[in-house]
Chain A
Amino acid sequence: MARYQAGDFVAARALINRISPALHRFLNAQCTSVADADDLLQEVWLRIHRVRQTYRRGKPLLPWIFAIARRVRIDHYRKSLRSTMREQRWDELSATATDSLTQPQPADTLDELLAPLSESQREVLEMLKVAGMSLEEVARATSSSVGSVKQKVHRAYRKLRQSMSLVELRKGQTGVVP
């Protein structure tokens, strides 16, 4: 990052190649299509490029990058929410939500695993598990305290435990009933 700030193009490319997969996965969770996530990734890097002077050498890099990515994602979410509200009626939304709650599916990919979680719980787990950040780094990236992050993780695990147990139960039932 220090070399990127010094204007080294090779270092900038290396950083983009190294961080982009985790960032893309982080952004993908809220996008309706891969093309949307691609656009968002590009926007994140443009934003990072514009504010690269705000990174201080010697400080952890991932919280800085994810704090920016999180803000781009929030802006995008608000924008898409506004357009979705215009297009979709409330009753359709609630019907979709009820379907997804009553018909749990076996989860294999990270997106499916984290589907039952709220947005804030999901982003905390993504940062911890996908980006490999520590609790303190997640707290920095989300502008909150370590205690608040721990609480979100605790609640997320409780919800995941319920959801995964339900899936196991359904699996067992379908195995018994001919």
Chain B
Amino acid sequence: MRDAEIDEALDRAAREPHQVPGELLKRIGESIGPSLEPVRPLPPTWVLTGALLLIGVAVALAFAARAGIHGFEALNVPARVAIFGALAVLTCLAAELLVAEWTPGSPRLSTPAGLLAMASVVLFGVFALLFHDYRVDHFVSAGIACLLTGLACAAPAALLGLWVLRRGWAVNPVTAGLVAGVLSGLAGVTLLELHCTNFQALHVIVWHTLVVPVSAGVGAILGWFVQRGRALSSRAIR
């Protein structure tokens, strides 16, 4: 059996007419008729992506302005370029993917899981290359403080991001939540790099990087609840 024969069999079967009852089509038309009002399409992808980027940067800067940018001041220029360059690229990718997640039928540059893995590996690699102080003073207490600070910055970034995307529709709420978590987690890491002066390698590698997967996990769990809510509401419609 050759591919051409399979093609032919599939085409033949697909050509068979498939009738939908006229009564059903009429009913569908009537059900949407009363609420048929003009709607404004979503803005272009670049506008939404740009807005998400601005929100991430603005929230991180607002938190840093309050807490102080001592970490940024203590870094040398190559370290600043490497860290904030990597954060900028990752944030652009996350914002682009988040807009795609909230717009059905959009093309994607990467998958949500791929983005999370890439963000974690890139941050881990950049921090491992730049920081060489291997002491571990107050590893857990200082680490948890940084993790909570990063997550505290991620929460408003995520909420404002969702407000920008409020007219969109997440095809898969779990993966959309995960990507929103990655994006807001990156805002949290940006704040930590601006503010934190603890340059011990393990502290930065473990606790600063951990903000992204933790934030992504929280986003995915919230997305799962949204998905459950959607299933319940669709059951109520039927």
Task: Give chain A's interface residues, CB within 8 Å of chain B.
Answer: 5-7, 9, 12-13, 16-17, 20-22, 24-25, 38-39, 41-43, 45-46, 49-57, 59-60, 62-68, 70-72, 75, 78-79, 107-110, 113, 125, 129-130, 136, 139-141, 143-145, 157, 160-161, 164-165, 168
Task: Give chain B's interface residues, CB within 8 Å of chain A.
Answer: 1, 3, 5-6, 9-11, 13-14, 16-21, 24-25, 27-29, 31-33, 35-42, 44, 101-108, 111, 167-169, 171-172, 175, 227, 230-231, 234-235, 237-238
Instruction: Contacts A56-B42, A56-B44 given; indicate if A20 touches B20 (C-beta within 8 A).
Output: yes
- CB neighbours (8 Å) of A110 from chain B are 10, 13-14, 16
Instruction: Contacts A20-B28, A164-B9 given; indicate if A79 touches B235 (C-beta within 8 A).
Output: yes
Instruction: Give the top 4 A-B pairs by smallest Cβ distance, nearest first.
Output: A63-B105, A64-B105, A110-B13, A67-B104
Q: Is the CB of A67 within 8 A of B32?
A: no
A46 to chain B, nearest CB (A): 7
Q: Is the CB of B38 within 8 A of A46?
A: no
Q: Is the CB of A42 within 8 A of B105?
A: no
Residue of chain A at shortest CB distance from B45: A56
Instruction: Contacts A141-B105, A164-B6 given; indicate if A42 touches B31 (C-beta within 8 A).
Output: yes
Complex Cα spacing A122 to B25, Å: 26
Instruction: Contacts A16-B28, A43-B234, A109-B16 given; indicate if A60 touches B105 (C-beta within 8 A).
Output: yes
Q: Which of A79, A107, A140, A161 contacts B105 (CB 8 A)?
A: A140
Q: Is the CB of A9 within 8 A of B36?
A: yes
Complex Cα spacing A59 to B106, Å: 9
Q: Is the CB of B20 within 8 A of A21?
A: yes
Complex Cα spacing A45 to B30, Å: 11
Q: Which of B28, B44, B104 contacts A54 (CB 8 A)?
A: B104
Residue of chain B at shortest CB distance from A112: B13
- CB neighbours (8 Å) of B175 from chain A are 143
